[in-house]
Amino acid sequence: MELLDWSLISSTIRMVTPILLAALGGALCARVGIFNVGLEGLVLVGAFSAIVGNHFTGSLFLAILFAALVCVLFSLLFAYMTIGLRANEIVVGVAINFLALGLTTFALRAIFGVKGAFYDKEMAGLPKLDIPVIKDIPVLGDIFSGHSPLVYLAFIAAIVLYLFFYRTVTGFRVLAVGLSPVAARSLGLKVTGLQVLAITMCGILCGVAGAQLSLGQVTMFTEGMTAGRGFIALVAMMMGQSHPLGILASSFLFGLMDALSIRLQGLSLPTQFTSMLPYVLTIIAMFFVKEKSQAGGRGQSSR
């Protein structure tokens, strides 16, 4: 088995999806001035509810919708605690993560009566979309065609978010809230409303990210199956400076590492070693992540 070939890129695109979606959600929160550490938990909840939705409705569309809905509820809890009760967002985020881990494990037993993992061979995973024309082009077809719809949705989401931030009035105001809540409030902008809006949108994105994990890549749920992808999304978000296109690039890097670690297992390297790859990259990435707030926008403090 070769280390590098075209299918590596194809699997990168698959692996990048949950990270990208969650990172975009995190960016929305970051842009309104809230550092959402709870991405990991939200994605996990999304992954579990997607399976639940699929199991009980039998419809993939409803399953994804259900996952998004449950995640929105979770993120509203986050919003209520951080904005409503003014609790520290890091603490609330960590709490959300543990709550998600415990609750999904508990619900796994309560709903499906199993421990560790739930798998049902009757259950259908997300279909593979073949894109006409492109699928017939030799290399491009292998890379870009035949992914689950959510993969394409993730890339569209990045572009939509870019347009939202930099082309629409609401997006402009969202950015304003993050840059200076005090100034935004003095202008009569609805700061709280915009923050809740961003957190809700983050919930939707995390729900879809979870659905891709449990229905797109595999068709099962295992306890803690996010395995730190929410945290990697957080790093991808910071590396991408909360800019949708920057995040697209940084998520790709992490997706590549994810895909590479699986590929390396095929080369009889120990699993424990290869699965370190994304995290090693995370640590390296931290050296290059600069706190953006210190870089610019300090003009008005020059009194």
**Cβ closest to another protein, residue 113 vs residue 299:** 299
Query: Is 188 one of the binding residues for another protein (CB under 8 A)?
Result: yes
**Cβ closest to another protein, residue 186 vs residue 272:** 186
> Phi, psi (5° rounding) for residue 117?
-150, 150
- In this structure, the number of other CB atoms found within 10 A of the CB of residue 175 comes to 17
Q: Confirm if 220 and 239 have CB atoms less than 8 A apart.
A: no
Query: Is 179 one of the binding residues for another protein (CB under 8 A)?
Result: yes
DSSP state letter for 134: G
* Least distance CB 245 / another protein (angstroms): 17
Among 182, 268, 287, 294, binds another protein (CB under 8 A): 182
Among 122, 186, 272, 287, binds another protein (CB under 8 A): 186
- In this structure, the number of other CB atoms found within 10 A of the CB of residue 244 comes to 22
Q: Confirm if 244 and 49 have CB atoms less than 8 A apart.
A: no
**Cβ closest to another protein, residue 169 vs residue 284:** 169
**Cβ closest to another protein, residue 138 vs residue 296:** 296
Q: What is the distance of C-alpha 127 from the center of its chain? A: 20
Among 86, 133, 138, 303, binds another protein (CB under 8 A): 303
Task: Give dist(CA 23, CA 292) in Å, integer.
Answer: 16
Helix axis angle for 169-179 and 149-167, nearest 10°, is: 80
Query: Is 159 one of the binding residues for another protein (CB under 8 A)?
Result: no
Which tokens sit at 264?
Answer: 């390396």
* Least distance CB 220 / another protein (angstroms): 41
- In this structure, the number of other CB atoms found within 10 A of the CB of residue 281 comes to 20
Query: Is 269 one of the binding residues for another protein (CB under 8 A)?
Result: no
Q: Which of 18, 14, 10, 13 is nearest to 228 (CA)?
A: 18
**Cβ closest to another protein, residue 183 vs residue 269:** 183
Query: Is 187 one of the binding residues for another protein (CB under 8 A)?
Result: yes
Among 156, 183, 267, 286, binds another protein (CB under 8 A): 183
Contacts of another protein in 189-218 (CB under 8 A): 189
Task: Give dist(CA 143, CA 303) in Å, integer.
Answer: 55
Q: Confirm if 212 and 21 have CB atoms less than 8 A apart.
A: yes
* Least distance CB 175 / another protein (angstroms): 8
Span near another protein by CB under 8 A; candidates 83-91, 111-119, 151-159, 162-170: 162-170
Query: Is 180 one of the binding residues for another protein (CB under 8 A)?
Result: yes
Binding region for another protein (CB under 8 A)? 167-173, 175-176, 179-180, 182-183, 186-189, 296-300, 302-303
